[in-house]
Amino acid sequence: MANIFAINRCSSSVYQRFIVQFNSTQRFNSLSSHVSKSRFIKLNNLRRNCSLSSDAAAPFIVADDEKYGKKQVISITPRLYDYILANVREPPILRQLREETANMRGSQMQVSPDQAQLLAMLVQILGAARCIELGVYTGYSSLAIALALPESGCLVACERDAKSLEVAKRYYDLAGVSHKVSVKHGLAADVLKSMISNGETCSSYDFAFVDAEKRMNQEYFELLLQLVRVGGVIVIDNVLWHGKVADPLVNDAKTVSIRNFNRSLMADDRVSISLVPIGDGMTICRKR
């Protein structure tokens, strides 16, 4: 899903503007809406838990825990993110698809160009030939993967929404990669179960990308472990969920399910993991 700048990412310019606006408990008591009061609490937690640089153009976070050696970690501001995007090698066909999708309903579901570039590089590093994607939408990430695959490669692309899938298929044709993509219209879990029933287990697939129903992540993961080879990679999108997973005040069903899934991955010795704060957060899992 596309990058969203949450207040708890410590952009100093945003932080300073809101601190001026909400600078006292008296102000908090005068707030009428639950949303405004929640924002006030988050900002005060931000002030307590983050140290910011004095340079608003490139703020950074300093780890408060001394065990991390006062490590300075860059905080992504809109200006810095523009710079990142300016340094992404985005093929023209992907840019065309991204710009068309931007005018469609649900466009925020499309992965960002920097995410797509990382996915394509992972496929190339692995030398992947057989891939799976759960949640195609209009096909930006799947097209990036298909372009990175060898001519003999295959991507199983699962999507439940027929309308958005038609856009994806049109762009597969325009990019000349339709022969690499096996489109599956249906629920991702059903498609995976059918693949397993057909005997495609153990060493069948090199790479999988999960960007479908978030509350199903654990089931998708268990099914994919049966399909991806040892040494293969599974990438799960939206693991930071706009920062909600780190907010104890947010406990809706989707956020809780992602939080629980992240905790489960931490304890799962079947995979090596790396949570990468790119886009809305992606966890890269390598099957042991």
* Residue ranges covered by each domain of the chain: 74-287
- Name the stretches of the chain with pLDDT < 70: 1-58
Inter-residue contact 236 to 283 (CB < 8 Å): yes
Structure confidence at residue 60 (pLDDT) = 78
Q: What residues contact residue 144 under an 8 Å CB cut-off, 6+ apart?
A: 94, 116, 117, 119, 120
Count of CB atoms situated within 10 Å of the CB of 271: 18
Structure confidence at residue 64 (pLDDT) = 75
Rounded distance between C-alpha atoms, residue 123 and residue 146, angstroms: 9
Structure confidence at residue 34 (pLDDT) = 53
- Residue environment code for 92-103, b if the CB has 16+ CB neighbours within 10 A, otherwise e: ebbeebbeebee
Structure confidence at residue 182 (pLDDT) = 98
Q: How far apart are the two ends of the chain, measured CA to CA in Å?
A: 27
The token pair that represents 82 in the structure block: 């523009």
Decide: helix, strand or coil at residue 271: strand
Inter-residue contact 173 to 97 (CB < 8 Å): no
Inter-residue contact 262 to 256 (CB < 8 Å): no
Rounded distance between C-alpha atoms, residue 49 and residue 70, angstroms: 13
What single DSSP character describes residue 72?
E
Count of CB atoms situated within 10 Å of the CB of 170: 15
Structure confidence at residue 7 (pLDDT) = 33
Rounded distance between C-alpha atoms, residue 53 and residue 72, angstroms: 9
Q: H/E element holding 218?
A: helix 217-227
Structure confidence at residue 46 (pLDDT) = 42
**Sheet with strand 282-287: strands edge to edge:** 181-185, 154-159, 130-134, 205-210, 228-237, 282-287, 271-276
> What global pTM score does this model have?
0.81
Say which CATH architecture domain 74-287 belongs to. 3-Layer(aba) Sandwich (3.40)
Structure confidence at residue 53 (pLDDT) = 47
